Chains A and B, each alone.
Chain A
Amino acid sequence: MIAPEVRELRVASDVGGTFTDNIAYDGATGRLTVAKVLTTPDNRAHGTVEGLKRALALQSRSGADVAYVGHGMTTATNAVIQRTGGRIAFVTNAGFRDILLIGRQNRPSLYDIEKTRVAPLVSREDCYAVGGRIDADGREVVPLDESELGRIAAAIGASGARAAAICFLHAYGNPSHERRAKEILARALPGSVICASTDILAEYREYERASTAVLNAYLVPIMERYLGSLTELLSAPEGLALPKGRPIMVMEASGGLMSLDSAREKPVHTVLSGPAGGVVASAYVSALCGAHDIITMDMGGTSTDISLVLSGKPEVTSQASIAGIPVRVPVIDINAIGAGGGSIAWIDEGGALRVGPMSAEAMPGPACYRRGGRRPTVTDANLVLGRLGAETRLGGDLTLDVEAARRAVAKCVADPLRFDVVSAAAGILKVAHANMSRGIRVVSVERGHDPRELTLVPFGGAGPMHGSPLARSLGIPRLLVPPTPGILCALGMLVSDLRHDLIETHLGRHEDFDAARLQDIVSHMQARARNLLEADDIPPQRQRVEVSVEMRYVGQSYELAVPLLSPDAGSWARMPAAFHAEHRRRFGHADERAPIEVVNFRVVAIGLITAPQLPRPESGSASPPDAARIGERRIFFEGAATEAGSWFACPVWRREALLAGNELAGPTVIEEISATTVLYPGDRARIDAVGSIIVEVGHE
């Protein structure tokens, strides 16, 4: 059982593509230790165990003391992208064998004939069609052809496929054929994984539901292998020596945590979970200082992940896809754009300055990394303009070559455009910011949210350098740079709650749902939710079950979720007004006369896991301690849209030495091991109680 006390030792490990970030946090002492190790591609669990041991050793503790393990990984994501899973089968209705292949019938690029749409995870010869049909009202039109299903089971067995997904039309309304088919296949194919679409989601739209079920079936064998190895290594005496029964929680893409058993059964929930921890941690840290509506911006070397958090909750979408395959489980809505510190600046054949999407990545890296890179990147531009200093050590050890950066910017950008090097570098940043600003608009203004009411939370190695100009261009008034912006993802695993998502499609006009039907649907779903939480050993007082209803105007085909506070007639009667209000908020208009239809009921079951207190810096006065000021350097700041910029002499601060309550004025720069925060002229910053840098962005 998960203990409600937070005065215990918890660890978390986040396995990324290059690095595995590990943290150990002792709730009793408030001590947080960090260990970054290289990811071990052969078996990623090795890196986790090694990293956790190191993080624990830094505070002289061992695995035996650990009360709780949080784990994030990209195993599922990588398996889909690299197609490392085994052969699987797909069973659907007669006449619809090719629904996975046809998909939504559209091609991936309007004009590029070289682009080929993504092949399904199941090859065509492993797709089977069986007689039987349910209609849109859930009535059986044609009975399930069980003898045919027997023959299909034999064929699947002979093919060597070890997993199968089943998706029948309108199973969301009547799953009886799916359930029966699952029984038959399971009996005929002992030891195989059989996944019915409505096991994962009882939501209409057959292609997306089928593809999600297939994805799950594809991942089950992979995840069983991986998690088996992980738990073995964690408990092995030569591994972490974690005592039996200590909870191990896995990050899911919705930003919640799932138990090991859930992760084995429904691994599709871990697809795209990589960036989730950072968003959850950003939301958590921001809420501590009263910022509940935020945009998170996780900027790394090759890309930037942008997402929206409203009222402290990450926006979750059910429209995500991975490598062209739809995933209809809740996923934190992240807009990934190809702009990072390593994005390369170039001049296209029409004479425009472009930045990315090509990246210098880690090898050869930006020109200033001294690893043979010759092409100018965003990082090089930052160095030329003094945002990064020659003495700045990226990641703790790498020193930067200013002259190499200047040469690259001069040769590839400044000379061909007949700019000076500084203007060229400033131009590179302007173009990079234009791309990123577009990425932020997608998650904010394009969804009806006014940036002027939001706080921008930049993190990742490169994020805090670019937060201020982006906030200015979008009219965002405030920035919040969380503490230790480089390890935020791992922190997310310590502050997140356990979560299950249930969805059922119940189509009908709002007025057609009477109290009895409503009660029936909701109480049934709530009972399922509580059963799931109980299976995870969450005691009743730590269970929370939230119900929402996805509705739309009759004739629309996109739904908006409106919370349902209680399944009674009074609450139900208030739903249309709430829907109109939400529609107006999101889209700027509502039609009070238009009839409303209900599409889905959603239940989120949450097992509250008390987050540990974060370590807090000591308090100080408004003026920072002298020891925090580590130097001064000249930094160039670009002007507004049509103006030139100029150089400023700027103090350089060491973040670790700043105290709560300290105030700083831009232009200035704050350095720490994993990131550099740049404040523009006019910006005013304050260090808050948990060590976040809160910046009131200056107006131009």
Chain B
Amino acid sequence: MNESSPRAAPLIHNDEIDAVTLEVLRNALEATADEMGAVLRLTAFSPNIKERMDASCALFDADARLVAQAEHVPVHLGSMLSAIGVTMKTVDVLEPADIIIVNDPFIGGAHLPDVTLIAPVHLGERLIGYVATRAHHADVGGMEPGSMPGNSREVYQEGLVIPAIKLYRRGVLVEDVLRLILANVRTAEERRGDLNAQVAALRVGERRLKELAQVYGAASLTRGFAEILDYAERRMRKRLAELPRGTYRAEDALDDDGTSEEPVPIKVTVTLDSDGMVLDFAGSAPQCAGNINAVAPMTHSAVFFAVKILTDPSIPVNAGTFRALDIRIPEGSVLNARPPAAVCAGNTETTQRVVDVVLRAFASLAPERVPAACQGTMNLIGIGGRDPRSGNPYTYIETIGGGQGGRPMGPGQDGIQCNMTNTMNTPIEALEVTYPLRIERYELREGSGGAGRHRGGHGIVRAIRILGHEARVSLQSDRRRLAPYGLRGGGDGLPGRNYVLDKRGTRHPQPGKVTLTLNDQEVVVVETPGGGGWGSVS
């Protein structure tokens, strides 16, 4: 019955990937990244990955260029993008079914708790791509529980540094490597569970990528990857072309680096022309003694985030999306630090400020799209000690939402995660069941949002009581002195503040970045900043 028809053209014209195959393949790749994320979330052990999904999964082509990712926190957005290629260059011999593990910031591009696993995908002996998962582990050793110390001065204090080494060799676990890692962390069983979950996610990604290579053929798949990158680039360039050309400058600063009270300035000059956009961070502070140093991929993430807000959030992110961007960061600066700088808060705090600075520069470029400054910090709190109920060590970490900046289209939202993070809170009941802690307050910090035609969002007050033991508490926060800015006549948001209530209820103010020892019944209180207002009130 089969009638051949001259009217039906083939869907793949020789070497070209057509509009249909492009969309079908993109869906398949994104579905794979999603599926990897689902496996990771379902099988992980720690609440930080399962409940808060502080993790990302991604697929790369054979040249280690990102083709699809399912990211759940924007700070992973760009850091995976460039860092996997860098990582793979440090690996000498790569064999099928190997798994590389890395958390060295100066290779992998993220702070130490973000442990990345990468697996090459081979069809026979031919390398067709890579799959990777990155997850924030609740502890990777170092001087403080939670591996986010408030006062580190060198990366070595922040935890175990893992260069790009093999966790699996030809499909077989390298037991010695795992034992070494687990011997250097506080909660070994949880780490083992989370690493297993990451491996399970890689296995799924690997299987799906192989299936795709079998359906399309390895050569067509490679061309498909290249077209997907070009597609994202085309969409981004179209959007950039709609913006007014010119040069725009902005400056902002972090309160301090945790070792002094000196502000840490960050500057950007944005030039938009027909070739694309240049972002030059010349004039930003040199790398500093404290732990707010960023490595370049972290800074890239923050830039990509701001550009995505400015253009079209629906453009898929891959190695083509940001080709139109030329990001220049002085080496040895706080935005592109060299080893052995301490970097753990570079991820969480400095990236927030980079977004603020870039958006501020964009504010004159596209005033109808850019909000006032948000809380500009993640308010990371880490508490660790020995649970008096079981005698076992525990580690709890959490970031706290604050005020969003007033937006051109309406008020900033109250008590919400902003910019580079979007992790969920740990439910109070889950937290109190799991840890020897009691939450005393978790509510909005009224009056903290900046005034404006569109008010800035209010911050949050979170108060945590220590129960029956001595605990180490680390705080990494900023915008405690320098307020989130208002835009177009809107008022600034109220800076945040941290303090401890002793047993008598006396208040002891604390700096933004600090590590403390607290005793039974003492309470640590974090009041997060409000967002800036947008537009003048009258």
Binding site for B on A (CB under 8 A): 95-99, 101-102, 104-107, 109-114, 116-117, 135-136, 141, 169-170, 172, 204-208, 347-354, 417, 419-423, 426-427, 430-431, 434-435, 437-438, 441-442, 445-448, 507, 553, 555-558, 586-589, 591, 594, 634, 636, 638-650, 667, 681
- CB of B74 within 8 A of CB of A114, answer no
In the bound assembly, the distance between CA atoms of A102 and B444 in angstroms comes to 8
Contact yes or no, A351 B234, CB < 8 A: yes
Q: Which among A106, A113, A437 is the interface contact of B407 at CB below 8 angstroms? A: A113
> Within 8 Å CB of A648, what residues of B?
1-3
User: In the complex the two chains form, is B42's CB within 8 Å of A586's CB?
Assistant: yes
- What are the residues of chain A within 8 A of B442 when measuring CB–CB? 95-96, 98-99, 102
Which of B247-255, B324-332, B427-435 is found at the contact surface with chain A?
A: B427-435
Min CB–CB distance A407 → chain B (angstroms)? 16
B438 touches A649 (CB 8 A): no
A106 touches B416 (CB 8 A): yes
Tell me the smallest distance from the CB of A138 to a CB of chain B, in Å. Answer: 11
CB of B11 within 8 A of CB of A427, answer: yes
A105-B401, A642-B217 given; name 11 further pairs at CB < 8 Å: A96-B441, A102-B416, A102-B442, A106-B423, A109-B313, A117-B416, A420-B8, A430-B20, A441-B35, A648-B1, A648-B3
Q: Are B8 and A647 in contact (CB under 8 A)?
A: yes
**Contacting B42 at CB < 8 Å: which of A101, A445, A558?**
A558
Asked whether A441 and B415 contact (CB < 8 A) given A135-B432, A204-B430, the answer is no
- Judge whether A98 and B415 touch: CB under 8 Å: yes
Contact A555 B23 (CB under 8 A): no
Interfacial chain A residues near B439, Cβ < 8 Å: 95
In contact, A423 and B9 (Cβ under 8 angstroms): yes
**Surface stretch bound by A, among B43-51, B272-280, B508-516:** B43-51
CB pair B425–A105 under 8 Å, yes or no, is: yes
Contacts of B27 in A (CB 8 A): 431, 434-435, 437-438
Q: Which 10 A-B pairs have the closest CB atoms?
A: A111-B313, A427-B20, A95-B441, A350-B235, A644-B10, A136-B432, A104-B424, A446-B38, A434-B27, A105-B425
Q: How far is the CB of B383 from chain A (nearest CB, A)?
A: 16
B200:A587 contact, CB within 8 angstroms: yes
B424 with A558: CB separation less than 8 A: no
B234 touches A423 (CB 8 A): no
A347 to B305, CA, bound (A): 26
Whether B5 lies near A643 (C-beta < 8 A) is no
Q: Chain A residues near B63 (CB, 8 Å)? A: none
Whether A348 lies near B235 (C-beta < 8 A) is yes
Whether A553 pairs with B193 at a CB distance below 8 angstroms is yes
Contact with A along B1-41 (1 / 0, CB 8 A): 11111011111100000111111101110110011001101
Partner of A95, one of B10, B28, B404, B443: B443
Q: How far is the CA of A422 from the CA of B26 in the complex (A)?
A: 23
Q: B490 → chain A, closest Cβ, in Å?
A: 15
* A101, B444: Cβ atoms closer than 8 Å: yes
A645 neighbours in B (Cβ, 8 Å)? 8
* Minimal beta-carbon separation of B218 from chain A (angstroms): 12
Chain B's closest residue to A634 (CB) is: B3
- Which of A206, A438, A644 meets B428, CB within 8 Å? A206
User: Which of B35, B308, B425 is close to A445, meaning CB atoms less than 8 Å apart?
Assistant: B35
In the complex, chain B residues whose CB is within 8 Å of the CB of A587: 39, 42-43, 200
Q: Residue on A with the closest CB to B402?
A: A105
A208 to B429 alpha-carbon distance, docked (Å): 11
Contacts of B235 in A (CB 8 A): 348-350
Complex Cα gap A204–B23 (Å): 42
Contacts of A102 in B (CB 8 A): 401, 414-416, 425, 442-444, 460
Docked pose: A435 CA to B51 CA in angstroms:
27
A206 and B200 in contact (CB under 8 A), knowing A117-B413, A557-B47?
Answer: no
**Which residue of A has the minimal Cβ distance to B437?**
A136
CB of B427 within 8 A of CB of A205, answer yes
A116-B410 in contact (CB<8A): yes
User: Within 8 Å CB of B4, what residues of A?
Assistant: 646
**B34 engages A446 (CB within 8 Å):** yes
List B222-249 residues whose CB lies under 8 Å from chain A: 231-232, 234-235, 238
Q: State whether B189 touches A417 (Cβ < 8 A).
A: no
Q: Which of B8, B189, B416 neighbours the largest number of chain A CB atoms within 10 Å of its CB?
A: B8
Given contacts A350-B235, A422-B7, A645-B8, contact A556 B34 (CB under 8 A): no
Q: A105-B416, A446-B34, A557-B430 are in contact. Are A642 and B216 (CB under 8 A)?
A: yes
B180 contacts chain A at the CB level, 8 A cutoff = no
Contact with A along B171-214 (1 / 0, CB 8 A): 00000000000000000011001001000100100000000000
B429 and A170 contact, CB distance less than 8 A: yes
CA distance A553 to B305 in the complex (A): 36
Residues of chain A with a CB closer than 8 A to B91's CB: none
Give the tally of cross-chain contacts (CB within 8 A). Answer: 251
Q: Shortest distance in angstroms between B354's beta carbon and chain A's nearest beta carbon?
A: 16
Q: A206-B429, A352-B22, A647-B3 are in contact. Are A555 and B9 (CB under 8 A)?
A: no
Bound-state CA distance A639–B439 (Å) is 60
Docked complex Cα distance between A591 and B197 (Å): 12
Name the B residues within 8 Å of A349 (CB-CB). 234-235, 238
Q: Are B422 and A107 in contact (CB under 8 A)?
A: yes
Question: In whole angstroms, what is the CA distance A97 to B34 when docked?
Answer: 35
In the bound complex, CA of A647 to CA of B8 (Å): 9
By a CB distance below 8 angstroms, the chain A residues around B189 are 555, 594
B371 in contact (CB, < 8 A): yes
Q: Could you list 23 A-B pairs, sorted by A, with CB under 8 Å? A: A107-B404, A110-B71, A111-B313, A136-B433, A207-B427, A349-B238, A351-B22, A441-B31, A442-B38, A445-B35, A446-B34, A553-B45, A557-B430, A558-B42, A589-B196, A594-B193, A636-B8, A639-B11, A641-B21, A641-B24, A646-B8, A648-B1, A667-B1
A573 to B441 alpha-carbon distance, docked (Å): 41
Q: Is B116 interfacial (CB-CB < 8 Å)?
A: no
Q: Does B215 contact A (CB under 8 A)?
A: yes
Shortest distance from the beta carbon of B319 to any chain A beta carbon, whole Å: 15
B157 at the interface (CB under 8 A from A): no
Q: How far is the CB of B128 from chain A (nearest CB, A)?
A: 16
CB of A367, distance to nearest CB on chain B (Å): 20
Q: Known: A206-B428, A426-B8. Contact between A434 and B417, CB under 8 A?
A: no
Instruction: Pick the residue among A104, A205, A354, A644 that contacts B23 (CB under 8 A).
Output: A354
CB proximity of A522 to chain B, nearest CB, Å: 22
Q: Is the CB of B24 within 8 A of A430?
A: yes
Residues of A within 8 Å of B417, CB to CB, are: 105-107
The answer to whether A557 touches B50, judged by C-beta atoms less than 8 angstroms apart, is yes
Contacts of B216 in A (CB 8 A): 641-642
B444: A residues at CB distance < 8 A: 98, 101-102
What's the minimum C-beta distance from A130 to chain B, rounded to whole angstroms?
14
- A107 to B460 alpha-carbon distance, docked (Å): 15
Distance A98 CA – B441 CA, assembled complex (angstroms):
10
- In this assembly, does B309 line the interface, its C-beta being within 8 Å of a C-beta of chain A? yes
Chain B residues with Cβ below 8 Å from A445 are 35
- Choose among A104, A141, A553, A557 the residue with the greatest number of B CB atoms under 10 Å from its CB: A557
In the assembled complex, the CB of A467 is this many whole angstroms from the nearest CB of chain B, namely 18
- CB-nearest residue of chain A to B41: A558
Contacts of A206 in B (CB 8 A): 427-429
CA distance A422 to B11 in the complex (A): 11
Scoring B72, B74, B443 by chain A CB atoms within 10 A of each residue's CB, the highest score goes to: B443
The reply on B537 being an interface residue by CB < 8 A is: no
User: Is B463 part of the contact surface with A, judged by Cβ < 8 Å?
Assistant: yes
Please, which residues of chain B bring their CB within 8 A of the CB of A169? Answer: 428-429, 432
CB neighbours of A435 from chain B (8 A): 27
Nearest A residue to B38, CB-CB: A446
Query: Which of A104, A110, A170, A172 gathers the greatest number of chain B CB atoms within 10 Å?
Result: A110
Give the Cβ gap from B361 to chain A, nearest Cβ, in Å: 16
User: In the bound complex, do residue A95 and residue B463 qualify as a contact, i.e. CB atoms below 8 Å apart?
Assistant: yes
Q: Which residue in chain A gives the minimum CB-CB distance to B208?
A: A445
Report Cα–Cα, A434/B25, bound state, in Å: 8
**Bound Cα distance A97, B458 (Å):** 14
Asked if residues A589 and B43 are in contact (CB atoms below 8 Å), the reply is yes
* Minimum Cβ distance to chain A for residue B392 (Å): 10
